[in-house]
Structure 1
């Protein structure tokens, strides 16, 4: 298991959290996604370490940016 934390900018509400959670959850190997709206942190637990580019693409698909 691997846990990584990313910072996402632009999230302002629960819908933002849901969008980011949904997109990041679709990355192969992701087991859990925990988004903290207040800090913008996204904690991702996966079977193997994730490439930053994969997470960036998922976050951008949701309409936000990695910090």
Structure 2
């Protein structure tokens, strides 16, 4: 599991774009959204860097959480 902070994730539309982006990369990934705290937790067979690249390309550059 990898957690990211996505400062630009502010609404349901953002959640939809992020979900579509990550499931296109890995159809079996599991994503937990915390819209209030601007964080997502991703369980994927992709590397964290692949996830960062996909999110950045979609317009949601993440900061990896501690």
TM-score range, shorter chain: 0.7 to 0.9
Which sections of structure 2, spanning at least 5 residues, go unmatched? none
TM-score normalised by the chain length of structure 2: 0.74
**TM-superposed deviation, 1:52:** 2.6
Q: After the TM superposition, which segments of 4 or more aligned residues of structure 1 sit over 4 Å from their partners?
A: none
1:54-65 residue pairs with structure 2 within 5 A? Answer: 54-65=50-61
Equivalent residue in structure 1 for 2:22, among 24, 31, 34: 24
**Structure-2 residue corresponding to 1:36:** 34
| Count of aligned pairs | 63
TM-score, scaled to structure 1: 0.74
Bigger fraction of residues in strand: 1
RMSD: 1.8
| Unpaired stretches in structure 1, ≥5 consecutive residues | none
